[in-house]
């Protein structure tokens, strides 16, 4: 399984082609749309999400509610396109175009302009925009269904926003984290996807402050799963390591600047005996661990424990109060231009992270146990799990 996306943020829409999905997977436009709509939420989003009502239209690969094994193509139309037709037209006739010649620090503008020879940075920013992730979440919707067929649950959430870290969530089960998020969001009337009632109020205030100051905030997103069969991924070649593929998928999300598994960077300061997850055996649980500093991976393979991975999301680079930059035509020092943007997109990033991790896991499990049809993959996975348990 693999996918490619296309589409500009203010163009006609987004397209995704998921190549090589298993056949026999039940999936509907409504299910994909519901997941894609989750990504649109999040306290701190800007005016754009009031315009868009992302709806997934399946173009191919699904018949009578089930995948048939051929590529699944999905389109999400941009409702905002009607306001941008003149600026974004595909026709050779130029509308009344206001060029953007001042690159924003932190965005793809300057290196993208140099690479593709554009001085109007709209040609870069339209594709570099995180709007593209709506399409990637479609792939995540399909991957999540595959995982659920195998009894694997996955959750992405905000572990920190604007420097405030959620407390005591690391050891909780997926269901317990979900409950905390629900309680927090209900209490504060805000979609923060943040599992700490005590500090959620401070987070909300911090987003409000950043909005008033014309600034932006980042944070940390965390993705956790239930237990996965050991040995998915491979240690025998560098590009077969599943944790590396997951890290690459997370790094490819707009604004992500760091990835860590389990205890991650904090391991570097500890002694080996304090880091490595001791191995135990019992008749009921077979080989198992009582800690998960490895984040579910050893040697690039799942080790039978839940996957636990975090990604650092930098603050959005479209800053309302402006930043120092240079007009690439006049070469004069100036301030960046502000059109519109989000103040904080960490809750949305947690859905995107969940989606891309789900895709890497589903792809690897399908390839690992073999089979092009969902029933066979499910049976193969169950059989593999049984063998791994009896090892």
- C-alpha–C-alpha distance, residues 159 and 166, integer Å: 5
Of the candidate residues 118, 122, 131, 245, the single one contacting ligand EPS (CB under 6 A)? 131
Tell me if 318 contacts ligand EPS by CB under 6 A. Answer: yes
Nearer to ligand EPS, 5 or 129 (CB): 129
Q: Is 362 exposed, middle or buried (0-12, 13-18, 19+ CB in 10 A)?
A: buried
Q: For residue 199, count other CB atoms closer than 10 A to its CB.
A: 17
Tell me if 341 contacts ligand EPS by CB under 6 A. Answer: yes
Minimal distance, residue 80 CB to ligand EPS, in Å: 6
Give the pair of three-digit tokens for residue 303: 């080790």
Of the candidate residues 38, 109, 149, 342, the single one contacting ligand EPS (CB under 6 A)? 342
Q: Spell out, one character per residue from 231 to 270, where the chain touches ligand EPS: x when CB under 6 A holds, - when not.
A: -----------------------x----------------
Tell me if 340 contacts ligand EPS by CB under 6 A. Answer: yes
Tell me if 271 contacts ligand EPS by CB under 6 A. Answer: no
What residues pair up with 96 in beta bridges, in sequence order?
A: none
Tell me if 129 contacts ligand EPS by CB under 6 A. Answer: yes
Tell me if 349 contacts ligand EPS by CB under 6 A. Answer: no
Give the pair of three-digit tokens for residue 104: 């924003």
How many amino acids of this chain bind ligand EPS (CB under 6 A)? 15
Nearer to ligand EPS, 51 or 279 (CB): 51
CB 250 within 8 A of CB 259: yes
Checking DSSP bridges between strand 66-67 and strand 306-313, what pairing results, if any? unpaired
- C-alpha–C-alpha distance, residues 211 and 347, integer Å: 16
Rg (CA), the chain: 22
Q: For residue 165, count other CB atoms closer than 10 A to its CB.
A: 14
Minimal distance, residue 278 CB to ligand EPS, in Å: 43
Tell me if 9 contacts ligand EPS by CB under 6 A. Answer: yes
Of the candidate residues 100, 134, 161, 301, the single one contacting ligand EPS (CB under 6 A)? 134
Minimal distance, residue 319 CB to ligand EPS, in Å: 11
Tell me if 204 contacts ligand EPS by CB under 6 A. Answer: no
Q: Spell out, one character per residue from 31 to 60, where the chain touches ligand EPS: x when CB under 6 A holds, - when not.
A: ---------------x-x---x--------
Minimal distance, residue 217 CB to ligand EPS, in Å: 14
Q: For residue 341, count other CB atoms closer than 10 A to its CB.
A: 18
For residue 57, the number of C-alpha atoms closer than 13 Å in the C-beta half-sphere is 9
| Separation in Å, CA 19 to CA 22, 73, 135, 232, 352 | 9, 9, 14, 21, 19
Q: Which residues bind ligand EPS (CB under 6 A)?
A: 9, 46, 48, 52, 125, 129-131, 134, 254, 318, 339-342
């Amino acid at each position: 399984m693999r996918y490619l996306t296309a589409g500009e943020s203010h163009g006609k829409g987004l397209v995704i082609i998921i190549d090589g999905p298993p056949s026999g997977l039940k999936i509907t436009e409504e299910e994909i749309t519901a997941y894609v709509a989750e990504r649109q939420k999040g306290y701190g989003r800007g005016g754009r999400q009031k315009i868009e009502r992302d709806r997934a239209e399946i173009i191919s690969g699904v018949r009578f509610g089930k995948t048939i094994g051929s590529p699944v193509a999905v389109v999400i139309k941009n409702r905002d396109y009607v306001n941008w037709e003149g600026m974004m037209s595909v026709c050779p006739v130029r509308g009344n175009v206001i060029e953007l010649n001042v690159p924003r620090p932190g965005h793809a503008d300057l290196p993208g302009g140099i690479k593709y020879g554009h001085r109007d940075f709209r040609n870069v920013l339209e594709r570099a925009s995180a709007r593209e992730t709506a399409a990637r979440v479609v792939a995540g919707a399909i991957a999540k269904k595959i995982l659920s067929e195998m009894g694997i649950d996955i959750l992405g959430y905000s572990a920190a926003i604007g420097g405030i870290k959620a407390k005591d969530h690391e050891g909780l089960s997926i269901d317990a984290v979900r409950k905390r998020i629900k309680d927090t969001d209900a209490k504060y009337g805000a979609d923060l996807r943040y599992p700490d009632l005590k500090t959620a109020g401070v987070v909300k205030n911090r987003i409000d402050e950043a909005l008033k100051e014309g600034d932006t905030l980042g944070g940390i997103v965390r993705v956790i799963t239930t237990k996965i069969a050991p040995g998915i991924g491979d240690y025998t070649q560098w590009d077969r390591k599943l944790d590396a593929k997951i890290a690459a998928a997370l790094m490819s999300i707009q604004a992500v600047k760091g990835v860590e598994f389990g205890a991650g960077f904090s391991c570097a300061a500890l002694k080996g005996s304090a880091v490595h997850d001791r191995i135990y055996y019992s008749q009921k649980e077979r080989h198992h661990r009582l800690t998960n500093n490895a984040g579910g991976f050893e040697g690039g393979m799942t080790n039978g424990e839940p996957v636990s991975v975090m990604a650092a999301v930098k603050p959005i680079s479209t800053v309302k109060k402006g930043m120092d930059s240079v007009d690439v035509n006049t070469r004069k020092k100036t301030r960046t231009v502000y059109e519109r943007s989000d103040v904080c997109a960490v809750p949305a990033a947690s859905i995107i992270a969940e989606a891309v991790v789900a895709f890497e896991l589903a792809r690897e499990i399908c390839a690992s146990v073999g089979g092009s049809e969902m029933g066979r993959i499910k049976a193969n996975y169950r059989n593999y799990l049984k063998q791994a348990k009896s090892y």
